[in-house]
């Protein structure tokens, strides 16, 4: 085999319950992930040494060097097997960069699967998932896709049942938000409110049983009523302009609107495909429609 191409989906968090800051700096989460049908493609080609290239609208803000999470994934897999990372990775980016949709995590998950196939390693799935968790909190979910509850820092996954297709619209915002900066702002807002921000002070996050029921039921109205993102106040504090985007989507008929993960992408749940098209056109040319759930990292034939 000389090249392997893998598609990997973006995600939206339909519930992101954020607990206190742990001694290791991460936050305990109850993170309900839903994979959505916006995909990056990662192609791994045989090469003498590690190389990386990319294409797509936002590619200028992606580091195309060994610090890229996809390159780190290739290096980690090679190390596990005691081999050299002889691969060129090419990333076709369609997921907004630094947008709160796990685009970097998607590329890492895609690179792992593509390199494993290219190098003929046949790494067991649980070992690939452990590597994913070392690379980042969202990488295991990017690998598995569908819908899942992520506990711990988001890496301990339990698959969830989804009873239908959900229609989404995503409005990417200019300039990304740094995930650590959004968590820091969340902590700052909590301290300012006098609630404290550590695991000892913040109640442990729990998945909302009503939200899991709504996912299982497949009704947009039911899911829209319970969407929740604890990082949203922090994202809005850093990017007050997002309030206008959320309001515009609601005015255009969205069942619900929320910031996707740490933002700044805004996510709108639509009643059906026609409503999604109307909301996207009201939000402007960069808004995208997508369906969920979507499959995880998949090797293209
Ligand atoms: O795991 P990942 O590298 O994606 O995390 C990026 C940053 O986001 C972490 O360094 C941390 O600041 C923050 N984070 C967190 N709690 C989590 C996940 C991420 O504080 N559960």
Cβ pair 41, 92 in contact under 8 A? yes
Looking at the predicted structure, is the pLDDT value of residue 150 above 90?
yes
For this structure, is 79 an active site residue?
no
Average pLDDT value for the chain: 97
Does the beta carbon of 138 lie inside 6 Å of ligand 1? yes
Structure confidence at residue 218 (pLDDT): 97
Looking at the predicted structure, is the pLDDT value of residue 175 above 90?
no
What tens digit of pLDDT does each residue of 64-89 get?
A: 999 999 999 999 999 999 999 999 99
Number of H helices, E strands in the chain: 10, 12
Residue range 3-159, CATH number:
3.30.230.10
Kindly give the number of the ligand 1 atom that is closest to the alpha carbon of 153: 21
Give residues with Cβ within 8 angstroms of 280, minimum separation 6: 169, 287, 288, 289
Beta strands in the chain (DSSP E): 3-21, 27-46, 51-55, 87-92, 147-151, 156-159, 166-171, 228-229, 256-259, 266-270, 288-292, 298-299
Does the beta carbon of 183 lie inside 6 Å of ligand 1? yes
Looking at the predicted structure, is the pLDDT value of residue 198 above 90?
yes
pLDDT band of residue 300 (cuts 50, 70, 90) is: very high
Beta-bridge partners for 150: 31, 157
Atom 14 of ligand 1, nearest CA residue: 26
**Residue 129 alpha carbon to ligand 1 centre in Å:** 17
**Residue 29 alpha carbon to ligand 1 centre in Å:** 10
Give residues with Cβ within 8 angstroms of 194, minimum separation 6: none
**Residue 105 alpha carbon to ligand 1 centre in Å:** 12
Which of 133, 137, 143, 190 to probe ligand 1 with, by most ligand atoms within 8 A of CB?
137
**Residue 154 alpha carbon to ligand 1 centre in Å:** 9
Atom 19 of ligand 1, nearest CA residue: 26
> How far apart, in whole angstroms, are the C-alpha atoms of residue 214 and residue 163?
8
Q: Pick the catalytic residue: 116, 138, 197, 230?
A: 138
What tens digit of pLDDT does each residue of 45-59 get?
A: 999 999 999 999 889
Full-model pTM = 0.97
Does the beta carbon of 136 lie inside 6 Å of ligand 1? yes
Does the beta carbon of 27 lie inside 6 Å of ligand 1? yes
For this structure, is 116 an active site residue?
no
CATH architecture designation of domain 166-292: 2-Layer Sandwich (3.30)
Atom 10 of ligand 1, nearest CA residue: 180
User: What are the residue boundaries of the structural domains of the chain, listed by start?
Assistant: 3-159, 166-292
**Residue 215 alpha carbon to ligand 1 centre in Å:** 25
> How far apart, in whole angstroms, are the C-alpha atoms of residue 162 and residue 159?
10
Structure confidence at residue 1 (pLDDT): 80
Does the beta carbon of 154 lie inside 6 Å of ligand 1? yes
Core vs surface per residue 37-51: b (16+ CB within 10 A) or e = bbbbbbbbbeeeebb
């Amino acid at each position: 085999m000389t090249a392997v191409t893998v598609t990997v989906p973006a995600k939206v968090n339909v519930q992101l319950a954020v607990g206190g800051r742990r001694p290791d700096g991460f936050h305990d989460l109850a993170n309900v992930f839903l994979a959505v049908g916006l995909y990056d493609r990662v192609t791994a080609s045989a090469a003498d040494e590690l190389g990386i290239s990319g294409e797509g609208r936002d590619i200028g803000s992606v580091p195309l060097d060994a610090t890229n999470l996809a390159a780190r994934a290739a290096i980690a897999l090679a190390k596990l097997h005691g081999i050299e990372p002889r691969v060129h990775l090419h990333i076709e980016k369609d997921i907004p960069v630094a947008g709160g949709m796990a685009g970097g995590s998607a590329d890492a998950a895609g690179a792992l699967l593509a390199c494993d196939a290219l190098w003929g390693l046949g790494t067991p799935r649980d070992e690939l998932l452990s590597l994913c968790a070392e690379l980042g909190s969202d990488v295991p979910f990017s690998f598995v896709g569908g819908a899942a509850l992520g506990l711990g820092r988001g890496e301990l996954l339990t698959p969830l049942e989804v009873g239908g297709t959900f229609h989404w619209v995503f409005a990417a915002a200019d300039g990304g938000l740094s995930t650590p900066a959004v968590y820091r702002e969340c902590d700052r807002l909590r301290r300012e409110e006098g609630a404290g921000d550590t695991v000892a002070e913040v109640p442990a996050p729990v998945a909302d049983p009503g939200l899991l029921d709504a996912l299982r039921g497949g009704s947009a109205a039911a899911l829209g009523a319970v969407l929740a993102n604890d990082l949203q106040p922090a994202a809005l504090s850093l990017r007050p302009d997002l309030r206008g985007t959320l309001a515009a989507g609601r005015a255009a008929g969205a069942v619900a609107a929320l910031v996707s993960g740490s933002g700044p992408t805004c996510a709108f749940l639509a009643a059906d495909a026609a409503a999604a098209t109307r909301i996207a056109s009201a939000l402007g040319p960069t808004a995208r429609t997508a369906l969920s759930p979507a499959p995880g990292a998949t090797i293209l034939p």
